[in-house]
A and B are shown apart, each in its own frame.
Chain A
Amino acid sequence: MSLLRIEGLNVRYGPVAALRQVDLEVAAGEVVGVVGPNGAGKSSLLLSIAGAVQPAGGAILLDGSPIGALRPEEIVRLGIALVPEGREIFGELTVEENLKLGTTVRSDRAAAQGHLADLMEAFPILRERRAQRAGKLSGGEQQMLAIARALLCRPRLLLLDEPSLGLAPLITRQVYRILRDLRRDGITILVVEQNPVRVRHLADRVYLLRTGEIAGQGTPEILGRPEDLEAAYFGYRKGRGAAS
């Protein structure tokens, strides 16, 4: 059975439909990518899975049980953690306080402390800057903080919203290296990206999302020729955008 199953999901903001009849599945241990242009509804998809946006219709099932009507604080306790678009770290709080917030859902305080220490080992920059205001971190460091914070929730499903957004190519490669490490550790990931090239090297399967609807799905090879894909779905000109 799939870990996450979405059936006929509709999301509306007032009169505007953000998602229409979206079907999507993520099996345990799988890395699934959702690719689509700006405004396709990628963020709405992740926000409705995480409970921050109430679906207008359809079903979101985790292990077969509906979670569409639950609150975000309940859904994260069921094991879904979100690394949101723009990272949304708490800039006024210290790096360490941001990480501690990741352990809010944990009842095993001692183990959570150990986990936090382990993550600081894995991300030395966070340990170095633990007492600094998180807002002072660079974009890439903030992204690592947001990922570490989500991992502290010990998620069964990690949702990532445009992890490369606003990052320099070098930093983006670092972030994706981290994601590949997570994949190797067996963490189930649903990642959305505007940039298909990034996802191609990470995902087991991909969905194409366009103006709120699933426009295609399959192995990452359907993203294989960026030129065709872009021309078909995003209206880019050749040689632009996905060159990195």
Chain B
Amino acid sequence: MSQAVQVLVDALSVGALYALSALGIGLIFGIMRLINFAHGEFIALGAYLLMVMGGLWVPLAILLMVAAIAVLAMTTERIAFRPVRNADPATMLITSFAVSYLLQNLYRLIWGSRPLGFDFLSVLGTPILLAEVRVPTLQLMTLGVTVILLLALVLFLTRTHFGIEMRAAALNFRMSRLLGVRADRVIAVAFAMSGVLAAAVAAMHLSQTGTLTPVMGLQLALVGFVSTIVGGMGSLPGAVLGGFFIGIVTVLLQTALPLDLRPYRDAFVFGIVILVLLVRPQGLFLSAQTRERI
């Protein structure tokens, strides 16, 4: 019983990380039909910045890092993505790869390609006893922060006029503009929000792993991307649920697979993803009618 709870907490905290990554990618995709592979580099820079600001009071360092990543995301949009906004999806995709490689190699120049270690909030690794289950504080924190971020996002998207504008833009960009929704502003805010989500993932990921590499965000961006597909492209709740789904599947496989097969865990994860998409090409959480037409 207690082991089951342990696995559940593990699964949820990994799922939370994936869900936030997926949401960062899904927000941009919904509005611009751009798959932003540079999202992983937003995450990586967040981690590096936390290391650089290691001497600062931690909450202040986190706040500065979040602001910096949001600004980086908005700058990327302004410089790299706005000029190709009306180009075909392939052009936008390649632009996002270019930005991704550029940033990755920039980090390589500054911090080298070798993994660096940085102890970030390692005190949170100490487990607390919850009903006979030892749960690392960090995992609870991850879940807590994720829930708060998701709630804040939901409130913003449903209760504010600008939030409704953003949802409308994600559903039908042209029609929303015909009603006066300002394209530049909606996209800039979407990038800023996606930057904030990347920053949150950076802080959580760094505190869990304690290592930094220039390509550390790649895996998260990739899983985030796959999550949006599994959840149903263009649907934000779908992206979140897709992230949790993949996180939970990953952790369950980690527990259930025989020891010899564990190194190939991701092959099984993506195998399941393929199966899911064969059965439900529109994604798990979208109805067939609202399926994305690309």
- A: residues with CB less than 8 A from B are 50-52, 71-73, 76-77, 81-82, 84, 88, 90-93, 97, 100-105, 149, 153
Contacts and interface: CB of A to CB of B under 8 A. Distances in A.
Interface stretch (B133-141, B177-185, B244-252, B254-262): B177-185
Contacts of B183: 71, 73
B115 to A, nearest CB: 43
A60 to B, nearest CB: 15
15 contacts: A52-B177, A52-B178, A76-B179, A76-B180, A77-B180, A81-B178, A84-B175, A84-B178, A90-B168, A90-B175, A92-B171, A93-B167, A101-B176, A101-B179, A104-B180
A91 B290 CA distance: 9
B276 interface: no
A71 B176 CA distance: 12
Given A73-B182, A73-B183, A76-B180, A97 B175 contact: no
B161 interface: yes
Nearest to B175: A88
B113 interface: no
Contact of A153 (B165, B167, B179): B179
B171 A93 contact: yes
B274 interface: no
Contacts, number: 65
B102 interface: no
Contacts of B174: 52, 72
B53 interface: no
Contacts of B167: 90, 92-93, 97
A18 B291 CA distance: 29
B161 A100 contact: yes
B179 A149 contact: yes
Contacts of A50: 178
A182 B70 CA distance: 46
B178 A104 contact: no
B209 interface: no
Contact of A104 (B165, B171, B172, B290): B165
Contacts of B171: 90-93
Contacts of A100: 161, 164
B193 to A, nearest CB: 19
Interface hub of A71, A97, A102, A149 (most chain B Cβ within 10 A): A97
Contacts of A84: 175, 178
Q: Max chain B CB contacts within 10 Å: which of A51, A92, A102?
A: A92
Contacts of B172: 88, 90
Interface residues on B, range: 10 to 19
A93 B177 contact: no
Contacts of B175: 84, 88, 90
Nearest to A109: B161
B185 to A, nearest CB: 9
A93 B164 contact: yes
Given A84-B175, A90-B176, 20 more contacts: A71-B177, A73-B178, A73-B183, A76-B178, A76-B179, A81-B178, A90-B167, A90-B171, A90-B172, A91-B290, A92-B171, A93-B167, A93-B168, A97-B168, A100-B161, A100-B164, A101-B181, A104-B161, A104-B180, A105-B179
Given A71-B183, A100-B161, A82 B290 contact: no
Contacts of A88: 172, 175
Interface in B146-188: 161, 164-165, 167-168, 171-172, 174-183
A105 B290 contact: no
Given A88-B172, A90-B171, A93-B168, A73 B177 contact: yes
A84 B175 CA distance: 8
Contacts of A91: 171, 290
Contacts of A72: 174, 177-178
Contacts of B176: 90, 101
A136 to B, nearest CB: 11
A102 B168 CA distance: 11
Contacts of B165: 101, 104
A93 B181 CA distance: 15
Contacts of B177: 52, 71-73
Nearest to B163: A97
Residue from the set B164, B176, B178 with the largest chain A CB neighbour count within 10 Å? B178
A149 B181 CA distance: 13
Contact of A97 (B164, B180, B181, B182): B164
